Each structure stands twice: as structure tokens, then as C-alpha cells.
Amino acid sequence: MVAGYLTTAGLAVPVDEGRASVLAGWDPDATCWLTTPPRIASGTRWACSNGTDWRPTGERGG
């Protein structure tokens, strides 16, 4: 898992035409316990102004 994180962190991964996702805000050394249902939360929209500088826009995604 850590190798996957290190090779994709900060890179735009195409989702479909006109959309992409970025692996951000995740701790590659975290442990996920699958004993209780996950908390459902909306995401945070991020934008990149110059190809490397990703920042949250303040908008909530869904």
C-alpha cells in the first residue's frame, strides 16, 4: 500500500472525460478497522493552479 501511495500521491488520476481524482489527505501508515460501518462524509474539492500546488477550494463535494 505504501508503494502505491508514494507513486500516486499528488498525481491527477483520470476518472472520466473532464474529471480526475488526486490521492490526498490519506495517511499511508494508518490502520483501518473494518468492524464498524464507515462514517459517510462528503469530500472536499481541491484545485491545482500551476500543476503542482494543490489546495482545497472550500467547497464540499459529494
Is this structure's pTM higher than 0.95? no
Distance CA 28, CA 26 (A): 6
Report the pLDDT value the prediction gives residue 62, as an integer from 0 to 100.
54
Report the pLDDT value the prediction gives residue 9, as an integer from 0 to 100.
75
Report the pLDDT value the prediction gives residue 45, as an integer from 0 to 100.
83
Summarised one tens digit per residue, pLDDT across range 16-46 is 888 888 877 767 667 677 777 667 677 788 8
Burial (CB count within 10 angstroms: exposed 0-12, middle 13-18, buried 19+), residue 54: middle
H-run or E-run covering 7: helix 2-8
Q: Which three cell numbers stand for residue 21?
A: 481524482
